[in-house]
Chains A and B, each alone.
Chain A
Amino acid sequence: MLSYKKHRYYINMPMLLRVIGYLLVIESLFMLIPCIIALIYGEDSFLDFLICAGISGACGGGMMMLKPKTKEMGKREAILLTGMTWVILSLFGMLPFLSVGTHLSVSDAFFETMSGFTTTGASVLNTLIGIPKSILAWRCVVQWVGGLGIILFTLAVVPMLNYSGGMQLFNAEVTGITHDKLRPRVSYTAKGLWGVYILLTILLIVFLSFSKMSFFDAFCHGLSTISTGGFSTSDMSIAQWNSIYLKIVMCVFMFLGGVNFSLLFNLLTGKGGNPFKNTAFKCYVVIILVCYIGFVINILIEGLAENWEYLTIDPLFQTISILSSTGITEPNFHDWGSISIALLLVMIVMGSCAGSTSGGAKVDRFVVLFKFLKTEFYKMMHPSTVTTVTINGKGTSGSVVQKTLAFLFLYVMVICIGGLAMSLMGLPLSDSFFCALSAISNTGLGTEVTGLSENYALIPDAAKWLLSLIMLIGRLEIFTILLLFTPTFWKR
C-alpha cells in the first residue's frame, strides 16, 4: 500500500543530507581542477588531490543514495542546509591542505578553507614559496566557488532543487536586503548569475594572461579577483609583477565583482537601461571617487608622491580593492598614515553592492539608512509628513528599514563580541577588533595593517576557529547563521 500522507518532519534530515551529498560531489569535481594542474606541472600532489576528490565524491555519493520519504523542505531546512553546507564543504575542502605540501594543522587548514570559501582571503601560510602549484590553484578555486556561492551553483545545475524549497536556499545564500529574480524559475536565475560570473572570469583570465603573468598566475588571480577574495600565488601579491596594465585590469574587474550581478545580467542582455538609475550602483561609484580623493589628499599631505602612479592608479587600486572586499594592499600602505587607516575602516564596513561577490555590510543598506535618516530629520520639522524611503525610484516598505537596522546592529554586535573574545585570547585589543571587522566583512586585510605580523599564523587556534565562524556569519549575511543559535529555530 502506498499512501499519501503529509509526513510532518520536524526537520527533514534525509533530504537535507541528500542535497549536501550533491554539493559534495560538485565540490569533488572542482577538486579535479588542481588535480589537472598538478598533472600539467608534474607535481606529485596529483595523487593526493585525486584521493581528496575521491573521499568527497564517495561521501557525497553515499549521501545522495539516501531516500527521503518526502522531498518537502521548508524555511527551517533551507536555513539549516545553507549553514551546514558551508561548514561541511569547508571540512572537506580542507583535506588538500592537510595532506598536500603544506601539511597544516586542522585549525589552520579549516581557517584557510573557510577564508577561501567566504572570499575573505586571510591566510595562515607564512610564505607561498615552495608551496605546490596545485595547492595555490585550489585556494583560488575555493574562492571562486565561494564568490557567488556554491548553493547558487547547485541551484543552476541540479534540477531537483528547482522548486519552492530552492527559492528559500536562494534567499538564504544570496546577499542583499531584498532579492531580485531575473527569471521566474530559480534555476534560470541561478544560471543567469553564474553565466555572468563565468563570462567575467574568462575575460579576466584572458586579459591577465596578456600581462607579464604566466598563464597559471593569470588563471589563479582571475579566479580570486572576480570573486573579490584576494588569494595570490606570490608572497608579494600583485606587486610581484609591478605592472600598470595589470593594476588597471584588476581595478576594472574588482569593481565589476562589487556590482550587483543581476544588474550586470540585465546590462548584458540589454534590458538594463541606464545603470546609474540603480541607486546602490550610483552610490558605489560615488563612494569610490570620494575615497580615492581622500587617499590622494592623504598621500599628498604625507608627501609620499614620488611619481604620478602614486597619485593615480595606486590609490584607486587601493580603494576598489578594499571596498570590493578583495583586500589586496599596496606594499607601502603602512606608510600612508592614520587618515588612510580611518578611511580604510569605513570602507571595510561599507563594502559594495548587494548581490555581488563582495563582503561588508553593503552599500545598499547604507543607502537605505541614510535616506531613512533624511526622512526622520525632515519629519522632526514637519511631523505630519508621510514619507517612504525610495530605492531605484520605487518606494519601499518600512520593513526594509527595520531589517537593515537589525542587520547593522547585529553587525556591530558580532564585531564587538568577536573582538572582545579574541582580546581575551591574548591578542592586542586593536588587533582583535580589526581582525573581527575584517573577518565579518570578508575583506581579509589582516594583522599586517595594524602591524602584528605578516599573516594569521601567529594567532591562537581558538581565535582561528572564532574568526572562521565570524567569516561565515559575514558571508551569509548574519541572520542565516545567527538564527541557528536562537532557541526559536529549534523549538518544536
Chain B
Amino acid sequence: MKIVIAGAGEVGTHLAKMLSNEDQDIILLDNDQARLDVIDSNYNLMTWNGSTSSFSSLRDVGVSNADLYIAVTPYETRNITSCAIAKRLGAKKTVARIDNSEFLNPDNGAILKDVGADFLIYPENIAAQEIAVALYHNWARYWGELHNGGLLLIGVKLHGDSPLLDCKLRDLPVKTHDFHVAAIKRNNETIIPNGNDEIRRDDIVYFITTPPFIQEVREICGKKKRIIKKALIVGGSRIAQRFAKLYNEEFHIKIIDNDRENCENMATILPNCEIVYGDALDIEVLRENNIYQYDAFLALTDSSETNILSCLTAKEFGVPKTIADVENLQFLSQAENLNIGTTINKKLFASSHIFKILLDADESNSKFLALADAEVAEIYVKHNAKITKSPVKDLKLPFGMTLAALVRENEIQLINGNTHIQECDFVVVFCLSGTIHKIEKWFN
C-alpha cells in the first residue's frame, strides 16, 4: 500500500517508521531537510523535501495513486488544506490530525469530509479518554478493550499480596479458565508464556478475559477497587486541558501549571476546575495544594522527565494512582519498571488509531498496538487454513504466540487446548512484535 505521510514531527516519524516495518510503501514529506536526512538514511522509506500544502510537491510524491494520505503536522488548518489538496489530486483516503473537538462532531465532520479530510485524529482527545479509562479501572496498569468491550486485555503489576506469585502457569490456584495470561513483562523483557513459566513479584501480567470475570482477575491479583473522585494534574498541556474539559463533572480536578498566562487562559476556559500557578517540582507547592487528599495524580507536562519524577514524588506522598505522560519512547519501558502506575503516550495512541483506519480496508486482520514490543492481532480464519485442522493442543504451534480468544458468530469465547478453531472465526492472537508474519500463514 502506498502511504504518504505529511509532517515529520513526532507522530509522523513514529508512524513512518512503524509502517515501513510493516512492509508498506512510505513517503515522508516535510520541509526540514535535516530532520528528513536522519530518517532517510536509516529506514526503508522515501523522504521528500517540500511543503505539505504545495500542489507541486504533492504531485511530485505521487499523491494521485496513494492509498492513504496522512497529514500530521502540528497545525490543523495546514493539515486540512493539505488533505483537501491530496484528495482532489486522487488520494484514496485522507487522515488529518486536528486540534479542535468541534471537528469531531458528526455534523461538522461531514463538512470536513466534503472538503476532503476523510478521517480525523485528535491525539489529545484519545489521550484524555485513555486517562479516564485508566482512572475508572485504576487497579490495572493497562486496560484495553477489543471487540467493543467484549474482550478485555488487562495489564496488572503484581505486588506482594497476590496468590499468583511464584507458581507455574499450569498450576495456578484457580479452578476455572475464565482468563488467559497472554504475556508477562519482566525487566524490559516481554515473555509470551507457556505452562512452565512462573509469575514473579513485580511482573506486569497481561490477562485476556471477558467482562463477567473482571472481578475474579482483580481479586487474584490482590488489588482493591477504589473509586477516584479527585485528580491533581500537573502541567496545563493540551492533553490536560482536553481531559479537564471532557471530565470536569466526573472528577474534581485541580491543575498546577508554571506559566501564568496559560493559567489565566485555562481559568477562563475551564471554569469548573481549580487552576493553580506554581512549580509542580517544588514539594512545598504540592503540600500547599493538599496532595495527600487526592486519589489520582496526573503528570502531563511536556517534559517526560518531569512527569516521571513528579509521579514518583506523588507516590511518596501516598497518592494511590499516578499517571505519567511519557512522550519519549526510550523512556517508556524504563518508566514502566518504575513504580509510577500507568504511562500514556500520545504518539502510540495516534499511530494505533491510524493503524486501525488503515486496516479497515483489509478486513481479515486488525491489529492493536498495546505494548512496546508485543502485539495483539485479530486474525480472520480463511478457508482451509492450517489452524482448523485439529484442536489447538495438537497443532504444534510456534513459540512466542498465544491464541487468546475467538469470536464466532458474534460470540466471544476464550480458547483452551480443546478448542477447535473453525473457518470464519476471528481469532485474537498475542505475539511478539515482528513475528506476526510467521503466525499469519497458519490462518491462510
Contacts and interface: CB of A to CB of B under 8 A. Distances in A.
Interface of A: 1-5, 162-164, 166-168, 171, 181, 183-186, 188, 394, 397
Given A3-B190, A4-B189, A184 B26 contact: yes
A4 B46 contact: no
Contacts of A394: 49
Q: Could you say which of B25, B41, B194, B197 has the most chain A C-beta atoms within 10 Å of its C-beta?
A: B41
Q: Could you say which of A4, A163, A166 has the most chain B C-beta atoms within 10 Å of its C-beta?
A: A4
Nearest to B374: A4
Interface in B42-97: 42-46, 49
Given A4-B374, A184-B25, A184-B27, A163 B44 contact: yes
A373 B21 CA distance: 42
Contacts of A171: 41
A164 to B, nearest CB: 5
Nearest to A186: B44
Contact of A1 (B21, B46, B196): B196
Interface size on B, as a range, is 20 to 34
B379 interface: no
A163 B34 contact: no
Given A162-B23, A164-B20, A397-B34, A3 B189 contact: yes
B164 interface: no
B279 interface: no
Main SS at interface, chain B: mixed
Contact of B2 (A1, A4, A184): A184
Contacts of A183: 25, 46
Nearest to B433: A4
Contact of B21 (A5, A163, A184): A163
A184 B21 CA distance: 12
Nearest to B62: A271
Nearest to B25: A184
A22 B25 CA distance: 25
B165 interface: no
B20 A5 contact: no
B429 to A, nearest CB: 15
Nearest to B398: A2
Interface in B1-45: 2, 20-21, 23, 25-27, 33-34, 40-45
Interface of B: 2, 20-21, 23, 25-27, 33-34, 40-46, 49, 188-194, 196-197, 373-374, 399-400, 432-433
Contacts of A185: 20, 23, 25, 44-45
A157 to B, nearest CB: 16
A460 B400 CA distance: 58
Q: Could you say which of A162, A164, A168, A188 has the most chain B C-beta atoms within 10 Å of its C-beta?
A: A164
A185 B26 CA distance: 8
Contacts of B432: 2, 4
Main SS at interface, chain A: mixed
A167 B373 contact: no
A164 B188 CA distance: 23
B323 to A, nearest CB: 26
Q: Could you say which of A5, A188, A394 has the most chain B C-beta atoms within 10 Å of its C-beta?
A: A5
A1 B44 contact: no
B194 A164 contact: no
Contacts of B46: 181, 183-184
7 contacts: A4-B189, A5-B189, A162-B23, A164-B44, A167-B43, A185-B45, A397-B33
A184 B2 CA distance: 9
Nearest to B60: A271
A1 B199 CA distance: 13
Nearest to B372: A4
A4 B45 CA distance: 26
Given A164-B42, A167-B41, A167-B42, A2 B25 contact: no
A4 B185 CA distance: 10
Q: Which 9 A-B pairs have the closest CB atoms?
A: A184-B25, A2-B399, A184-B46, A2-B400, A4-B432, A181-B46, A3-B191, A164-B44, A164-B43
Contacts of B374: 4
B61 to A, nearest CB: 10
B89 to A, nearest CB: 16
Contacts of B26: 184
Nearest to A394: B49
B44 to A, nearest CB: 5
A188 B24 CA distance: 12
A4 B44 contact: no
A3 B77 CA distance: 45
B250 to A, nearest CB: 37
A393 B188 CA distance: 48
Contacts of A4: 189-192, 373-374, 400, 432-433
Contacts of B33: 397
B193 A167 contact: no
B433 A166 contact: no
B45 A184 contact: yes
Contacts of A3: 189-191
B42 A1 contact: no
Contacts of A1: 191, 193-194, 196-197
B58 to A, nearest CB: 15
A4 B371 CA distance: 12
Contacts of A166: 44
Nearest to B42: A164
